[in-house]
Amino acid sequence: CHAMSHSLGGQFHIPHGRLNAILLPEIIGSNSAAAGKYAILAREAGLGGSADALAVRNLKNGLIRLRAQLQMPATLAQAGVEPAKVRQVSAQIVEAARKDPCSTNPVTVEDFTVRRVLEEVTGRG
């Protein structure tokens, strides 16, 4: 999440925290192999469920609700970035995110994973 935020922020000059809010729900969804860790976090935050998958879904939905309550954008398009511009530089964004020293993740990340998350958060346009 932070590595992608750095890459996107450098490219489009969007504040880091705003980018994290856009990215985090999708990042959690892409890290399904780490469901146990996210389920623990969900339960500690009072968003848990009886099964890990339910707890992770509740965590993701809780973050989406919080983002909406704070009136923060849900996509890069809503943050003012034209989707065509994101697509033009997507290879550079993926490369920079993969090389970022903050590129730690509970599961191994491949280029296609970063591209898929980027597509999901770009928005329509």
Tokens of 104: 């730690």
Q: Which residue has the higher pLDDT, 58 or 108?
A: 58
pLDDT at 101: 84
Instruction: Note the pLDDT of residue 86.
Output: 97
pLDDT of residue 103 exceeding 80, the answer is no
CA angle 19, 76, 104 (to 5 degrees): 40
**Secondary structure of 40-80 in the HEC alphabet?**
HHHHHCCCCCCCHHHHHHHHHHHHHHHHHHCCCCCCCCCCC
- Alpha carbons 18 and 34: distance in angstroms, whole number: 24
Alpha-carbon span 2 to 117, nearest angstrom:
13
Q: Using pLDDT thresholds of 50, 70 and 90, give the confidence band for residue 4.
A: very high
- Tell if the pTM clears 0.75, that is, is over it: yes
Residue percentage of the chain with pLDDT more than 90: 76
- Which pLDDT belongs to residue 35? 82
How many other C-beta atoms are found inside a 10 Å radius of the C-beta of residue 53? 13
pLDDT, one tens digit per residue, over 50-78 is: 899 999 999 999 999 999 999 999 999 99
pLDDT score, position 41: 92
Say if residue 23's pLDDT is above 90: yes
User: Which residue's entry shows tokens 């892409």?
Assistant: 30
